[in-house]
Every structure is written in structure tokens, then in C-alpha cells.
Structure 1
Amino acid sequence: MDGGCFRNLGDNKLNGSLPKSFLNLTSLEQLGLYRNCFSGDLLPFQMNNLQILYLGSNSFNNQIPREFGALQNLTALSISFNLLKGSIPEELGNISNLENLFLAENELSGHIPQQLGNLTQLQELYLNTNYFVGELPPSFMKLVNLERFYAQGNSLSGKIPTFIANWTQLDVLDLLGNNFEGPWPKEISSLENLDYLALSNVVTRGRAYDFPDLSRMTSLQDLTLRKCSLRGPIPGYIWELKNLQNLDLSFNELSGQLPNSISTSLTSIFLRENKLNGLLPGWLTKRKNVKPHRYVDVSENLFKITTSEFNASSDDPDVNYFPGCSSNSPHTKDRCDDYCHNNVKYNELLINCGGKEVTSDNKHYSADQNPNGSSTFYRSETGGWGYSSMGLTKSLDNRPASLIIKDTCTLSNTAAVLVETARVAPISLKYYGFCFSDGTYTVQLYFAEIGLSKKQAYPITPKRVFDIDIQGENVRKNYNIEAEKENIDGDKMVEHITSIKSYLEIHLYWSGNGSANYGPLISAISVTKVPPPKHHPKLSPALKAVIAVSSLFFLALLLLLLRKLGYLGGKRSSKEELKATELFPGGVYTFCQIKDATQNFNVVNKLGEGGFGPVYKGLLPDGTTIAVKQLSGKSKQGIREFVNEIGTISALQHPNLVKLMGYCAEDNELLLIYEYMENNSLDHALFGP
């Protein structure tokens, strides 16, 4: 069967497994099956003439076939946006003519094979949004033709490789959301063609690093060095890069002042949570009718902000220099306390994020419908709460995408009204609660994934993964709404108990995992105070004295009763007295003496048993042979009565009576010690005829 040279079946809503008849298309050079609904295993394509194979945006699962390594003429392989698992087959390193390899947005894992370094013709390598671990293979130094390298959203580690400097043709380097160690290698600073550089979450091991020398990267258009533990001032040349449009240096330790002038090419500047100080420059405070329009977030720094400047910022939805409530600014606490009108203190906070005022479970949730959020601080009209949002996502018409999402077709759970809307942010979203009364609170965060389209023709949607901090404590790492299980009420909710002193901070942020541009989303917030434990009324001193005296009296009474019953040695003392009272010379024996004489009442020494108990033969230390009668525990007779009777028996003397030598009344044992008689006479005497 000859199917011709080219087959493009993309965007056709095709589903099911791939027909095996495709394997018979031996002359096929290009095959496009992208953006359909195919599922199941990938076919082991082995068409020698195949040059382009596009299988992306389907639901293929299982593993990448090793047979792909035999496609020697293949120049482009795209299997991104599927559900592929396992590791990358080493055999892919045999496709020597491969120029484009797209493996992004799958569930691939393990180490990246060294053999991929043999793909020396490779120009594009997309590994982003998978679960790869370990270091980048040293063999990658041979990828000298690489132009675009995406590894965002994995768990790659180790030092940032210096061999990246060999990729002299590189214009895109995306390493966001991994675990690389600093510092930035100076060798990489020579990449003059680089126009997109993104790095975040650098492992510092307690160190801070100077700002890397990027002065030769004059082609940069997008620069992101977020959470890289950078210290010191921002180099002056950064503000003069003529092509730089987007600058993100947020969540570092940068200090110093901002320049009085910057490149006109800059349209977004994110410097949140650093240690920048000094006065705010004019290009930041006097923005009216100034072009280009910029989105600027310099919040949570140490700037000297006047009240008039701060109030003026509320009129500009795209500039944010809110100092925060947890930064080191000396004016921070005062600024947050300014929101407490008439010293009002709150015991709860209820917000319907992205939606109007609603009532659910008899709780009234405030509206949250401000549309801004690219670089915004918004304070509610009530003054009790606000949010600080950062991140820019462009829509198809290159305008900022909406940061409020609505969906009226949510699940019919108990809190459905709370998840019909949501607020999103591409990078960082902080909700603040002001003017709380001090205490312990229950924080409940409601989520519903209404931001990913369910109506698209192909099944695989982007992965929204973000972190959740409450009061600076990380309570969820890599939270994925879609992957979370619902609770018994049908809700997806994160609950956390925290201590609040005056203010509350809830931080949702994209740390680089999951799909890019799909940052945090939240539908509702409920913060309620935990009721204090019930306190009993205080007792008066007189009542305390009465209770103390009564307690001592009853304690003494209890001790007396226990002694009477013998639990505190009372009976033991009585026995000791009885044992010391000699009713006849040598007639009192200790239990230990009798125990030794009978070898612990060994059954071998047992002579027999009568109605009142067993009789044992014993031998005293002086050589006297005795017979010990152990009275049965069934007898109700008391010890004193028993001893009195012993005295009576011992006083009797008659030739036909067996001589009673003594007794033992100790350790709850009643023992009679007789003279041992041979020739069966003892049997008649003790057991009867």
C-alpha cells in the first residue's frame, strides 16, 4: 500500500487507537496527526522515508517506542502534549538528522539520556513540563547548533552547566522551575544571540550571589532571574538594553536605588520582594500620558513612599508599590494599620474571589470583581482586605488576558456558588486581611479548575501547578487543582490553622512547575476565628479552703480504709504479730521455712489430699521430718480464729493423736505442721480410714 508522500490529518477530532495500517505507508515522508483525540500506544513507526512526524496534542500514553530510533531520515519529531510515561529511549540518539525534538507537556521521567548529545544537528529541544531529574548530560556540549532549549518545569539539578556556552546559536534558554545550583557561570555570559533567558529557584545552600555579568547579551528581550538569591544593586546596563521588553527580578535580595531613566523598550518590570530603597523615580510616579505603557511591580521593598504617592498609586491599576505587611520596611506595620478605620477589629474574612457578593452556608462573602492584576495592589472598599497581583499573560490579540474567570457550569457541590468565579495570576497572587483581632484562625481556601477550556477539540489541557503559603509558611507545594480529590462535600479545599496578629497574608505563586502562563487560581476564601476554650468561673479563697480541707479528710479516710483492708500493710502487721506470739515452744514457722522444707510444695513430696487440703512431706534443716497440711483457701475462717484453734489442739496430749508440732499463718497461707509417722499411720490420722 502506497499512501503518497504527505498525510496531514491534524485538527480533525479523530479518536481511538492509531490504525496499524499506517505502518504500511512505506513511502510516507510526512505524517501529521496533531490536535486530535487519539489514545493508546504510539505505533512503532519504521517507515524509512519518514522525515516529519507530528503526533502532539492527543492522549497517547505508555512509552515512546524504541523503534523511533530507526527513523534515520527523520528531521522533526513532535509528541508534546500527550500522556507519555517512562524515560526517553536511548535509541532516539541514533536519529542523526533530527533537527527538532518536541517532548514537552508529558509525564516523562528519569534522567535525560547521554545519547541525545549525539543529535548534533538539533536546533530545537523542548523538554519542558515533565518530571526529569538529575543533571543535564555532559554530552550536550556537542549540541552546537541548538537555537532553542526549553527545560522549564522539571526537577533538574546540579550546577548550571558551563557547556551551555558552546551553544553559540542559542536565542532561547528556559530553565525556570528546576533545582539548579548557583552561581551563574561567567562563560555563559558570552551568548550574544540570546534574546530570552529565564532562570528561577536557584538552590543557594544559604549563600547569596552577585548579579551575573550579562553585559554582552545585548539582544535580550525577556530576562527573568526570579528567586535566584541575587544580592547587590541592579547593574546600570540592564536599564539601557535597547531590546529589553520584559524584566523580572522578583523575590531576590537586590538592593540600591532605581535609576532616574530607563530604556523606552521596557513594558513590564517586576521587582517584587527585594531590598531596593531610596525614592521612587519619576518614570514610576509620573506615568500619566507617558508612553510606552508599563506594568510595574516594585512592591515589598524598602522605598521611601510618601502618603500622596501611595494614594496616587491607587488610581493607576498597573503600578504596584505596596510595601507589604511582612517586609522589613519601617513603615510597613503603620501602613497596614492605617486600614483599620476607627480601630475596628475583625474576627473573620470571607471573599468570593472574582465574583459578586454571595451567601453560602449562612456566611456572607464579599465581592471581588476588580479586573486588574498584572501589577496591581487593590484594597477593598470596606478596608478589611486587599490583594496584590503580579504577572502578565497576553491574549490572542496581544492584550493582557482577563484575570477573572467565570463558569456557570460548575459541579453541584455544597459550595457551588463559591466556585463559579475565580481570580488568577500568572505568577504571584497575595491576599491580605487587615485589622484582625489577635488569635487562632481556621483558613479555608476553595478551588475549582474553571480556567482550562473543556471545549477544545483535543483532550490534553495545560497543567496548572502552584504553591500555597499562609503567614509565610508553605502549606502546599506543587498544588494541582485537577489532580486533587474532592472532600465529602464535593469541594476542593485547603484548610489550615494559623495564628494571626493584626494581619493575614495568603500567598499563591507559580514557582515554575506545570505549564507556563498558568499560575495560581482561587475561587473563595474563608477565615474564621477558632473559639477560645471555655473557662470555668474562679473560686473564692474561702471555697478553695473548704475544698482543700474536705479533700484531705477524704484522703485520710481512704487511707484508713485501705489499711483496714490490708492493702497498705495492716494485715501484714497483724500476721507478724501472730507469728511472734508463741502459743507453744518452737511452734511458729515462717512460710519460707516450710517452702524450703517441701521444695516449694513439690508434687513429688505430696502425700495425699483430704477434705481440708493437701498434705506434703518435708525436711527441716535440723533433720526433722514433718508433714505439712495446707488448709484449703475455701475456708472462711479468719487467721486469729485459726491460731486460737491451734492453741487448743496443741494443748491436747493423747497416744492416739498425731503430734502437732506447729503452724504457719503468713502470706495468706494457713499451714499445720505435724510429726511425720511411718507405716501408714499418718494416712489414717490425717486423711481418715
Structure 2
Amino acid sequence: MLSNCNLSGKFPEYLTTKSKLKILDLSFNRLSGPLPENYDGLKGLEKMYLTWNNLTGPIPDWINIRDPRYSIDLSYNNFTLEPKCRETLNLFKSTWGWNYSKPVECLNRCSEERYSMHINCGGPATTIEKTTYEADDDPGGATKYASTRLDWQKSTTGHFWDIDSSTDSYTAQKMSILNMSNSVLYTEASLTPLSLTYYIPCLVNGNYSVKLHFAEIVMRDNKSYYSLGRRVFDVYIQGVLSDGTQIAVKQLSAKSKQGNREFVNEIGMISALQHPNLVRLYGCCIEGKQLLLVYEYMENNSLAHVLFGSIFTKKWDIMEMVDPRLGSAFNKKEVVRMINVALLCTNQSPALRPIMSTVVSMLEGKTDVEELVMVPSTSSDQS
């Protein structure tokens, strides 16, 4: 599982030799190029998630003939050919240049032109105050794409790793009684950990108002949020690493009944978020019943001061970085370009650094240098 790890380059060929591999998750990276044609070593693969990459070329035949019981998510890529339609093969926006205004192969042709659409997400068909809500009670899935509906389809992506895959973890049902006229809309709901997309190609062109209705999630048996131990990260410890780096440690509450899930969710969420104004997660520690998260340390102060303080907004001349011993024996324009490119390459967020081909193009003057957003950095920033 290497989701959102900023991986780049071609699909790793050595993975095709891992015969015991059952789940492969390389989603949310920057992989490019075609998928391998050789599939002999991946016969045991049951789930493969490659959504949100830059994969190109035709989709290999082994994906088209793959056992439909197994899930494959190829959504949001740049493939050049459409494969055969299959319910457990998610192809939403998977091809470059595909005309999404025409009927999709997995859908029946539109029964009529639509000017409105009402869907009971996760529930049965119902009529409320002369408004008919269509049923959306198909079983969910980690790579669900196809639909038997006439005029629309639903795409769901993502796998609940902490729930048995044999259970229906993509539908929620409220057990308590709701005293309201439209309770059927809030009795059942669809769940998806990554994305939920409704595709309605039968709507005529025009401007539409989209209304989303949500029910507030409450705890069972009248237990409060606090009594269930959901506030699990309430102990903070300041520490220092061996190299002198100051850190903040979050200690999981020993009284938590749902701490393990919260612990894994926080690691996944913070690891996926990369922004100069968010503290960095250095790592975690698991020892016995102790669960710890190690963060970049930020001292208590005004948030406005941290983001907009004078130390961060002080004006400076970029030429101060040039060795004064050079005098005037250099092209100032080229030096400024080189320094700006160097600053882009050392951005504290790896996701914001340009790729090498772009760097070369900027240095050669073929491409304009990207705008540099100056953010505070520390000596412990990753390079």
C-alpha cells in the first residue's frame, strides 16, 4: 500500500512478479506511461487501485478479461482506449480526450431529456411532496462504476481497510425512529471512503441548482461523543530528537475504545495533506499499548503572527544571494532565473517541486519560471 507517496515514473515492473500479492494500492501518485502487458505474476491479485495518476496508453487485455469478482480502479488517468464495460472496473474519467457528453458504454441510452434529478442516496425510491426520488440501493464497492439505471450512474472509490471486505460496509442504516415527514431520505445512506460521483448525462445543457441534504450523525444508545472516548488525542508532549529538532508528541488516550481506528485515520489523513501552513507528521511510535504521533513543533502564539508576522514578510533582494566576489562579471537576468529555479527545487513541500524536465526547460529559457510562493522553512525540512 503506497497511496499518496509522491511516486513518479513508470509502473514498477517488478510488481508483476509478486505472485502472493492480493491488494495493490498505488493511488494518488504521479505514475506515468503504460501498464505492463505481462500479468502472469499477478494472478493472485484481488484488488488494484491506480486512481489519480498519469497513466497512458491502451488498457491491457488482461484487465478486460479479469475475473469480475475482483476490483480494479483506473479512474482519473489518461488512457487512450476504452476497455470493455464491467461493474467492478471503475473507469470514471480514465481516458484522455473521451467525449463525456455522449452516452457511456456502461449506461443505457437516455429514456428522455431530463431537466431535474432527485436521488435518495443509499435508499429506496420514494415520493415526498410531489417530488419523486429515484432509488439508489445498489450494493456499493471499492471500485464500483457501472449501473443498471436508465439515466444516471454512480461511481464510488475507496476501500475500508479496517472492515472485513465480505461485509457490506458501503451502506449505513439508521436504527432509531425519526419523527419527520421525509424520514425515508435519512434512514439509509451510501458510504465511501474516497469519492462518490453521480454521473447524469441525460440532463440538458443549462444552469442547475444542486441541493445536498445531510443527516447529522449521532452516537447509539444516547452516549455522548465524549463518553465513547472519541476525543482520543488530548495529551501533548514536547520533546527533542537526537539531532536537536523540537517535536510535539500526541499520546493516544488509554481510555479510548476506538483509538486504533482514529490512530490509523490520523496517520493517513495527515500524510496525505501537504501544505506549508500545516505541521508535518514526522512519524509514529507503537510500543505495547502506547500509540504516539510525532509532529513538527510549533510554539503557542497567535496564528496570524505565525502566518503573517514581520519575520516572514520582510522584503529582501534576491541578488543578496550572489557571491559579491563576482562583481559585475555575470548576466543578472540569467542569475535571477537560476536562483528562482533553485528555490522552486528546494520547496519544503515535495509535491510543489518541479520535475527535472521542467527545471531544464526553465533554465534554458524555453519555459517561464513558475511563481515562487515564499514560505517559512526550518533546518529540519526535508530536502
- TM-score, structure 1 normalization: 0.30
What does 1:78-477 correspond to in 2, within 5 Å? 223-226=1-4, 230-241=7-18, 244-259=21-36, 260-261=38-39, 262-288=41-67, 294-306=70-82, 309-311=83-85, 313=86, 317-323=87-93, 328-336=96-104, 341=109, 344-383=112-151, 385-393=152-160, 399-413=166-180, 415-449=182-216, 454=221, 459-460=227-228
For residue 237 of structure 1, give the secondary structure of its aligned residue in structure 2: helix
Is contact 2:64–2:84 with CA below 8 Å preserved after alignment?
Answer: no
Tell me the alpha carbon deviations over residues 412-449 of structure 1, each in whole angstroms, 9 at most, x when there is no partner. 34532211110001222222222222222111112225
For residue 417 of structure 1, give the secondary structure of its aligned residue in structure 2: helix
Task: Output the CA distance in 1 between the equivalents of 2:120 and 2:93.
Answer: 25
Is contact 1:345–1:435 with CA below 8 Å preserved after alignment?
Answer: yes
Q: List gaps (5 residues or longer) in structure 2.
A: 232-263, 270-383
Tell me the alpha carbon deviations over residues 53-80 of structure 1, each in whole angstroms, 9 at most, x when there is no partner. xxxxxxxxxxxxxxxxxxxxxxxxxxxx
Task: Output the CA distance in 1 between the equivalents of 2:2 and 2:218.
Answer: 25
Task: Output the CA distance in 2 between the equivalents of 1:428 and 1:247.
Answer: 18
Task: Output the CA distance in 1 between the equivalents of 2:163 and 2:110.
Answer: 47
Task: Output the CA distance in 2 between the equivalents of 1:238 and 1:456.
Answer: 47
**C-alpha displacement of 1:279:** 2.6
Task: Output the CA distance in 1 between the equivalents of 2:201 and 2:52.
Answer: 20
With over 3 angstroms needed to count, the CA separation of the structure-2 counterparts of 1:395 and 1:225, relative to structure 1, is: closer
**C-alpha displacement of 1:389:** 0.9
For residue 365 of structure 1, give the secondary structure of its aligned residue in structure 2: strand
Is contact 2:106–2:146 with CA below 8 Å preserved after alignment?
Answer: no
Task: Output the CA distance in 2 between the equivalents of 1:425 and 1:462.
Answer: 21
Is contact 1:406–1:421 with CA below 8 Å preserved after alignment?
Answer: yes
With over 3 angstroms needed to count, the CA separation of the structure-2 counterparts of 1:330 and 1:417, relative to structure 1, is: closer
For residue 117 of structure 2, give the secondary structure of its aligned residue in structure 1: strand
**C-alpha displacement of 1:258:** 1.3
Paired residue type of 2:88: D
Task: Output the CA distance in 2 between the equivalents of 1:388 and 1:234.
Answer: 24
Aligned position for 1:598: none
Give the number of equivalent residue pairs: 234
Task: Output the CA distance in 2 between the equivalents of 1:329 and 1:263.
Answer: 30
Aligned position for 1:143: none
Task: Output the CA distance in 1 between the equivalents of 2:79 and 2:179.
Answer: 48
With over 3 angstroms needed to count, the CA separation of the structure-2 counterparts of 1:396 and 1:247, relative to structure 1, is: closer
With over 3 angstroms needed to count, the CA separation of the structure-2 counterparts of 1:237 and 1:370, relative to structure 1, is: same
Question: In terms of Rg, which structure is larger?
Answer: 1
Task: Output the CA distance in 1 between the equivalents of 2:105 and 2:21.
Answer: 38
Task: Output the CA distance in 2 between the equivalents of 1:375 and 1:391.
Answer: 7
With over 3 angstroms needed to count, the CA separation of the structure-2 counterparts of 1:224 and 1:319, relative to structure 1, is: same
Is contact 1:405–1:450 with CA below 8 Å preserved after alignment?
Answer: no
With over 3 angstroms needed to count, the CA separation of the structure-2 counterparts of 1:392 and 1:232, relative to structure 1, is: same
With over 3 angstroms needed to count, the CA separation of the structure-2 counterparts of 1:340 and 1:245, relative to structure 1, is: closer
Task: Output the CA distance in 2 between the equivalents of 1:386 and 1:249.
Answer: 25
Paired residue type of 1:287: R
Is contact 1:337–1:435 with CA below 8 Å preserved after alignment?
Answer: no
**C-alpha displacement of 1:257:** 1.3
With over 3 angstroms needed to count, the CA separation of the structure-2 counterparts of 1:451 and 1:396, relative to structure 1, is: farther
Task: Output the CA distance in 2 between the equivalents of 1:232 and 1:331.
Answer: 28
For residue 212 of structure 2, give the secondary structure of its aligned residue in structure 1: strand
Identity %: 29
**C-alpha displacement of 1:271:** 0.9
Aligned position for 1:468: none
With over 3 angstroms needed to count, the CA separation of the structure-2 counterparts of 1:447 and 1:378, relative to structure 1, is: farther
Paired residue type of 2:3: L
Is contact 2:103–2:109 with CA below 8 Å preserved after alignment?
Answer: no
Is contact 2:108–2:149 with CA below 8 Å preserved after alignment?
Answer: no
With over 3 angstroms needed to count, the CA separation of the structure-2 counterparts of 1:429 and 1:418, relative to structure 1, is: same
For residue 193 of structure 2, give the secondary structure of its aligned residue in structure 1: coil
Paired residue type of 2:166: R
Task: Output the CA distance in 2 between the equivalents of 1:243 and 1:514.
Answer: 29
Aligned position for 2:234: none
Task: Output the CA distance in 2 between the equivalents of 1:268 and 1:515.
Answer: 22
With over 3 angstroms needed to count, the CA separation of the structure-2 counterparts of 1:235 and 1:516, relative to structure 1, is: closer
Task: Output the CA distance in 1 between the equivalents of 2:78 and 2:103.
Answer: 13
Task: Output the CA distance in 2 between the equivalents of 1:337 and 1:244.
Answer: 31
Is contact 2:109–2:150 with CA below 8 Å preserved after alignment?
Answer: no
Is contact 1:407–1:450 with CA below 8 Å preserved after alignment?
Answer: no
For residue 405 of structure 1, give the secondary structure of its aligned residue in structure 2: strand
**C-alpha displacement of 1:253:** 3.6
Task: Output the CA distance in 2 between the equivalents of 1:422 and 1:297.
Answer: 22
Aligned Cα root-mean-square deviation (Å): 3.7
Task: Output the CA distance in 2 between the equivalents of 1:250 and 1:394.
Answer: 14
Task: Output the CA distance in 1 between the equivalents of 2:112 and 2:163.
Answer: 45
**C-alpha displacement of 1:352:** 0.5
For residue 84 of structure 2, give the secondary structure of its aligned residue in structure 1: helix
Task: Output the CA distance in 1 between the equivalents of 2:167 and 2:32.
Answer: 30
Task: Output the CA distance in 1 between the equivalents of 2:18 and 2:219.
Answer: 36
Aligned position for 2:284: none
**C-alpha displacement of 1:230:** 4.3
Q: 271-280 or 387-396: which moved more?
A: 387-396
Task: Output the CA distance in 1 between the equivalents of 2:112 and 2:218.
Answer: 36
**C-alpha displacement of 1:236:** 1.4
Task: Output the CA distance in 2 between the equivalents of 1:451 and 1:400.
Answer: 22
Is contact 2:49–2:73 with CA below 8 Å preserved after alignment?
Answer: yes
Task: Output the CA distance in 1 between the equivalents of 2:125 and 2:20.
Answer: 45
For residue 11 of structure 2, give the secondary structure of its aligned residue in structure 1: coil
Paired residue type of 2:149: E
Is contact 1:371–1:402 with CA below 8 Å preserved after alignment?
Answer: no
Q: List gaps (5 residues or longer) in structure 1.
A: 1-222, 464-511, 518-689
- TM-score, structure 2 normalization: 0.51
Is contact 2:90–2:145 with CA below 8 Å preserved after alignment?
Answer: yes
Is contact 2:141–2:170 with CA below 8 Å preserved after alignment?
Answer: yes
Is contact 2:107–2:153 with CA below 8 Å preserved after alignment?
Answer: no
